[in-house]
Amino acid sequence: MALKVKLGTQGILISAIVLVISVLLLIDRLLATSPIQLTLVDGRAVPIEGASYFSLNDVLFFIITAWLGGMSFLYIVISPKEKEVSELKENSPVITENKNAALLAASMLEGDEKTLLQQVIDSNDILQRELILKTGFSEPKVSRLLDKLERRGLILRRRDGMGNRISLKNG
């Protein structure tokens, strides 16, 4: 079960602040100097650096801070992509029963998708192999383009014998 937290537009700013703070805290702890002992040799003070080990508290601090920084970084990287996907889903055109709406959707498409949808609109009920013949596209290309149009809710594919029958989607 995935936990989804919606932070809105301030989410990336909060994540960036957490990331910067965690990086600074890690740098501060890692660059902290080890304790120095002074010994007297021939009347002079000679510094001796002792071995520096991290305590259990330091290790836990590193783990928690690194985890917070990593999660903030992931949120910053992934958040814009999730927003783009949700906007695409919201803005995808859906064909209603009339051909005018289908023609409007075809005008929004570009290139080969537009050509293929135009053939479906003109024929309204056409076999997939006929689309291959009319457009001159290869079988895999037609299949991929039909997949895209079907995901957008523009067409409906039904099994018809050994092939597929393509028609405009109603509503």
* Res 56 pLDDT > 80: yes
Contacts of 156 (CB under 8 A, 6+ apart): 150, 166, 167, 168, 169, 170
- pLDDT tens, position by position, 108-145: 778 888 888 888 888 878 898 998 898 899 999 989 98
Mean pLDDT calculated for residue range 36-46:
83
pLDDT bucket at 7, cuts 50 / 70 / 90: low
CA 30 to chain centre: 33
Tell me which amino acid residue 148 is.
K
Rounded mean pLDDT, 81-102: 55
Better pLDDT: 110 or 103: 110
Pick the closest to residue 92 from 157, 152, 151 (CA basis): 152
Residue type, 37: Q
- Predicted confidence at residue 87, as pLDDT, reads 56
Q: How many CB atoms lie within 10 A of CB 22?
A: 20
Q: How far apart are CA 17 and CA 23, in angstroms?
A: 10
Pick the CATH number of 99-168 from 3.40.50.620, 3.40.50.11720, 1.10.10.10, 1.20.1070.10: 1.10.10.10
Range with the largest mean pLDDT of 17-26, 39-48, 117-126: 17-26
From 87, 119, 99, 120, select the one nearest 170 (Cα to Cα): 99
Query: Is 90 exceeded by the pLDDT of residue 64?
Result: yes
Q: Looking at residue 33, what is its pLDDT?
A: 72
What does the domain layout of the chain look like in residue ranges? 10-91, 99-168
